[in-house]
Structure 1
Amino acid sequence: MPATATDGQTENDARISTAEQREYWAQQSVDDNGMLGGFAHVSRVDIQFSRNFMSKLRRLHPVSVDGKSSLTGSPNQKTTKYPFRYCLEAGAGIGRVTRNLLASICEKIDVVEPIEKFTAMLTASDSPLIQSGQLRRVYNVPLQEWTAESILTDDFTVQNEGRYDLVWNQWCLDYLSSPDLVRYLKQLIHLLAPDGYIIVKENLSTAAGGEDIFWEENSSISRSDRHFRECFEQAGLMIVKTQLQTGFPKTLLPVRMYALRPTS
């Protein structure tokens, strides 16, 4: 189990600094190499694995798109092109996953990403997501500061638009303390369509004792699978599918995908 600090957080949680995180990412290049820590060559394998995971998930647990949205009472009508209507992506960076995966399966996409020089690539006039009309909103705030109320008090309901069918979290939740992670996941439940998915794809700790690993370089934490599951349970979420990423170099940390839905 993680060591506990006196304030109720783990010792690693207490070391997290949002300011240091933002400073680290502000120094990274605005390309796949910067997003992937010098391992841009794994992007294709990463995207293909996620695509296959989602394809299998949709066959096991189809998303209903013709029911009433419980947020607006308006029909969540299916388009012929996209299996998911509304998506929220956290920690989108320059839009590597947005462009290469989510744009092919989601009709409309909202993004949370604190670094504006990254999202400038998504919001530029020649951006494929701007030209296709798929990008709706960009929230340039850290996940620690983002709240569901920022969505609910926006024009989310005014435009008769439904809840999110998909919330994508990849390589961003390791920047949250455990209490912040649980609080963030709980908020997502209020924004999720009745049969929508919360996807988590993150590195796992390889520590021999199963403890989390703190990384000084970017003020982040690699959690164990057990710790992730504890956080999901505390947030009121259950795992409907999970799988270890394959095809990555053995020098990298293992990566696991989780598909989550509310327990009730």
Structure 2
Amino acid sequence: MNKPVHKFYSDAEDYWSKIPPTIDGMLGGFGHISQVDVQGSRIFLQQLFKSKNPPGRTYAADCGAGIGRISKHLLLNIFDKVDLIEQNPIFLDRAREYLGSKLIGKVGNFIPVGLQNFQPETNKYDIVWIQWVLGHLTDAHCIQFFTNCIRSLKANGMIIVKENITSSEITDVDENDSSITRPIHFLKSLFESSGLDCYRQMKQTSFPKELYNVYMFALKPKVHESETNLEITVSTNTPGDIVSKLNTGGELKNDAANVPELVFQNEVKIGIVL
């Protein structure tokens, strides 16, 4: 995907601005899988709550929340409070209606921001839930986002990632919605570079065969955030553009005109995917 970083994000924003704020819209035309998806996520969370030193059930973050599908059918039934983080204000407006009067009072905040710019409060969340949205972040911004999320965790808190995974060693590129889908080892390299240990993982079952494999990962900080060995620099040519030194999965580089260009290794272009 040879395009400037700002266009990577603006193209995705433009794509989602044209998507209807419905379950089918949020799931790329596969709204019928929502119940199975939530059931798999609930089982995974239940396993975590039965583990040694489980996370609390006070506060969760729903990252890339859309219209609040996961919050309504999963998180708000488990946690006392949930923040919804979503860059599309139309989706958040719909979420206020979709959640209904009984659940809306359990929402802490509706936060209209992209995850690459999300700055969570310190020591706030028991669970940070991140589903089907990391493909819209560059590798560098994934690391930055994870690092910020680590600081937001309470004692025994966890970050949960539920994401599409390619079945090959190749990073798939979808030009239609300006997103990528990473191989599992690329994704795990981002966890590692962010200072996260993969505590548990589980494959989602009972999805249509034409969809990607989907995995859930429970992540714990492996060291104190101040000790995380993370090498991120800021481009002197373009203030504010994050440039990662991570060499697995993808990298940011400057082209001949000193414009940041997004490059993912071993990529292949594809059509519409979930």
TM-score (norm 2): 0.76
1:219 is aligned to 2:169: no
Query: Given the alignment, which residue of 27, 33, 36 partners 2:24?
Result: 33
> Does the CA contact (< 8 Å) of 2:164 and 2:214 recur in 1?
yes
Residue 90 of structure 2 corresponds to: 117
Residue 250 of structure 2 corresponds to: none
Aligned-residue offset at 1:211: 1.8
In structure 1, C-alpha distance between the alignment counterparts of 2:37 and 2:158, rounded to whole Å: 19
Q: Which runs of 5+ in 2 are unaligned?
A: 224-274
Residue 186 of structure 1 corresponds to: 147
Aligned-residue offset at 1:185: 0.1
Query: Given the alignment, which residue of 61, 66, 75 partners 2:52?
Result: 61
TM-score (norm 1): 0.79
1:49 is aligned to 2:10: no
1:140 is aligned to 2:99: no
Q: Which amino acid aligns with 1:45?
A: V
**Aligned pair in 2 of structure 1 residues 194, 16: CA closer, same or farther (>3 Å)?**
farther
1:173 is aligned to 2:146: no
**Aligned pair in 2 of structure 1 residues 241, 215: CA closer, same or farther (>3 Å)?**
same
Q: Which amino acid aligns with 1:223?
A: R
Deviating above 2 A after TM superposition, structure 1's stretches of 4 or more consecutive aligned residues are 10-16, 61-65, 121-124, 126-132
In structure 2, C-alpha distance between the alignment counterparts of 1:56 and 1:141, rounded to whole Å: 31
Query: Given the alignment, which residue of 184, 187, 190 partners 1:228?
Result: 187
Q: Which runs of 5+ in 1 are unaligned?
A: 1-9, 66-83, 153-161
SS for the counterpart of 1:60 is coil
Report the number of matched residues. 223
**Identical counterparts, % of pairs:** 32
In structure 2, C-alpha distance between the alignment counterparts of 1:147 and 1:236, rounded to whole Å: 18
In structure 2, C-alpha distance between the alignment counterparts of 1:140 and 1:11, rounded to whole Å: 28
Query: Given the alignment, which residue of 238, 250, 259 partners 2:209?
Result: 250
In structure 1, C-alpha distance between the alignment counterparts of 2:44 and 2:3, rounded to whole Å: 31
In structure 1, C-alpha distance between the alignment counterparts of 2:103 and 2:124, rounded to whole Å: 24
